[in-house]
């Protein structure tokens, strides 16, 4: 039986330009990813959703209510317009990264409770909506068009 080990690498660039690098797998250790050192911080990322309308995806990153996280929120002006690269990495039994996928987000705010601090983000890439200027394929633009569904792109 093999184990699934997943680490997340949190690289936040706040609106004042400072970088904050954390990972949530190697407890009380630093871990290197893309030649950068990530300190340990207990956090949980949750909540990306997609809709048929193509709205931005929403992400929440939850931290325990710690002083260092409060400083992180203050440095980012309440997490407004911070830039987040969140990488999910699959870890081998020897601690090496086998595969990793990165997603990019923009900060939209933060909230606080007695036990947690929530950083809220939206996806950095938006889908094209119905208000996007439409173009029509015509013979003048593309030449002769087929009369059936056999269209090939090169």
Q: Where are the domains of the chain?
A: 5-125
Cα 10 from chain centroid (whole Å)? 9
Confidence category of residue 47, pLDDT binned at 50, 70, 90: confident
- The CATH code that applies to domain 5-125 is 2.30.110
Contact between residue 19 and residue 52 where contact means Cβ atoms under 8 Å apart: no
Average pLDDT rounded to a whole number, residues 1-18: 86
Least confident of 60-69, 113-122, 133-142: 133-142
Cα 124 from chain centroid (whole Å)? 8
């Amino acid at each position: 039986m093999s184990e699934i080990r997943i680490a997340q690498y949190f690289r936040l660039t706040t609106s004042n330009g400072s970088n904050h690098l954390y990972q949530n797998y190697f407890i009380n250790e630093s871990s290197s990813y893309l030649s950068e050192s990530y300190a340990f911080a207990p956090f949980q990322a949750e909540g990306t959703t997609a809709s048929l309308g193509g709205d931005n995806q929403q992400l929440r990153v939850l931290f325990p209510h710690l002083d260092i996280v409060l400083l992180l929120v203050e440095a980012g002006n309440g997490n407004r317009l911070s830039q987040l690269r969140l990488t999910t990495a699959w870890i081998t039994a020897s601690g090496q990264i086998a595969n990793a996928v990165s997603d990019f987000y923009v900060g939209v705010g933060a909230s606080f409770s007695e036990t947690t601090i929530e950083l809220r983000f939206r996806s950095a890439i938006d889908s094209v909506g119905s208000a996007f200027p439409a173009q029509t394929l015509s013979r003048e633009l593309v030449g002769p068009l087929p009369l059936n569904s056999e269209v090939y792109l090169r």
